[in-house]
Amino acid sequence: MSDLIGLIIPGSLALIMFGMGTGLMVSDFTRLVRQPKAVSLGLFCQIIMLPVVAWILVKAISIQPVFAVGIMLIALTPGGAVSNLFTLLARGDIALSVTLTAISSLLAVFTVPLLLNLALINLLGEGQILRLPVGQTMLQIALITVIPVTLGMIVNARVPELTQKLAGTVKTLSMLFLMVAIAGIISRERANLVPLLVDAGPPAILLNCVTMGLGLLVARLARLAPKQVITITIEVGIQNAILATALAVAPQFLGRTDIGLVPTIYGFTMVVIMLLFVGLLRVLPGILGNHEATVRQ
């Protein structure tokens, strides 16, 4: 079962990343040059602030080492296509969201293996240490993220009418496979579900709320436009739970379904928290200032 789960989740992620690629253009990667302030700030929050906050959290709170690794794993895999959807719902800066998702997904190929190894060495007991071969892990992450995104961009550039026809099918299949795999993880680790909810549930929710709050604060202090503040808040709250789960359960990575429970649970709680955030913005549209303000760099 674990081998099957380890195949389905990376495959589902590759399909999702392909679908995301069909909505990207080269300009989404060059926006850093044209809009440096907002993009740089967003990447700082995603790549640096998130892991630091997660590390402080797992050290400050008593939590089982295996679940602490899960918390760090989710903090190390920023971005995801879901953030683009919530940015749209919250009426944020869609272009900024897409750019942050694209660039952070590319950077994750390099940052995740290095930082995850440090987390594994420091959080697990000496007898449980797991090490990832950095070069091989970078290549494998690229195979299920960067390469599918690149293929999606190429197909969209050459035959856009085909990607439009396939968009719904790709999304449906990837979600279906993913749900089957997640059900398998929960079934396999059902004995750990209650300890997880008690032990890792509160830190996961706290991580989500604290990082969103810090993202909002940093963006406000940088005097970004309201739409950009909304986008950065969402981008640091929405993690790539699918990539984190794949890294946890796939045999070529950690091969641990118990660690995979944490991003699985986080994937649910972050959606609930994000819906509340979007609802608050809809009820109080002026809470961050003039929502239609001109984007400032």
Judge: domain 2-282, CATH 3.40.190.10: no
pLDDT band at residue 75 under the 50/70/90 scheme: very high
Q: What is the pTM of this model?
A: 0.79
Q: Domain ranges in the chain?
A: 2-282
Checking if the pLDDT of 184 tops 90, the result is no
Q: How confident is the model at residue 297, as a pLDDT?
A: 41
3-state secondary structure (DSSP) of residue 64: coil
Q: How confident is the model at residue 44, as a pLDDT?
A: 95
Checking if the pLDDT of 219 tops 50, the result is yes
The span from the CA of 114 to the CA of 287, in Å, is 39
pLDDT band at residue 214 under the 50/70/90 scheme: very high
pLDDT digits (tens, 9 = 90+) for 104-141: 888 888 888 888 888 888 887 544 455 666 677 778 77
Checking if the pLDDT of 196 tops 50, the result is yes
From the number of C-beta atoms within 10 Å of its C-beta (0-12, 13-18, 19+), residue 191 rates as: exposed
Checking if the pLDDT of 251 tops 80, the result is no
From the number of C-beta atoms within 10 Å of its C-beta (0-12, 13-18, 19+), residue 297 rates as: exposed
Residue-averaged pLDDT of the chain: 80
- Backbone dihedral region for residue 240 (phi beyond 0: left; psi -120 to 50: alpha; all else: beta): beta
Q: How confident is the model at residue 128, as a pLDDT?
A: 47
Checking if the pLDDT of 79 tops 80, the result is no
Query: Which tokens in the block code for residue 244?
Result: 């984190």
Average pLDDT over residues 21-50: 83
Checking if the pLDDT of 198 tops 90, the result is no
What are the b/e assignments for 208-244, b being 16+ CB within 10 Å? bebbbebbbebbeebebbbbbbbbbbbbbbbbbbbbb
